[in-house]
Amino acid sequence: MGAIKSTSLKKHLAKKMRQNRPLPHWFRLKTDTKIRYNAKRRFWRRTKLKV
């Protein structure tokens, strides 16, 4: 990807960066939740974004 990006594309990439993080540690320690990890994690080499 080139260095010159539109603002809308930058916003889209920034959102995907925020989504691509593990669960907070304190969330895993909650007693009633069954969620143990972020199922929607994305590795840059395996899964490409549709941009």
Question: Can you give the pLDDT at residue 33?
Answer: 85
Residue 45 to residue 6: CA distance in whole angstroms: 23
Task: Write down the pLDDT at residue 12.
Answer: 97
Q: Residue 21 has what pLDDT?
A: 97
1-51 per-position pLDDT tens digit: 899 999 999 999 999 999 999 999 999 998 888 999 999 999 999 999 998
Which residues lie closer than 8 Å to 19 by C-beta, 6 or more apart? Answer: 40, 42
> First CA to last CA across the chain, in angstroms?
10
Asked whether the beta carbons of 47 and 14 are under 8 A apart, the reply is: no
Domain at 1-51: CATH code: 1.10.1620.10
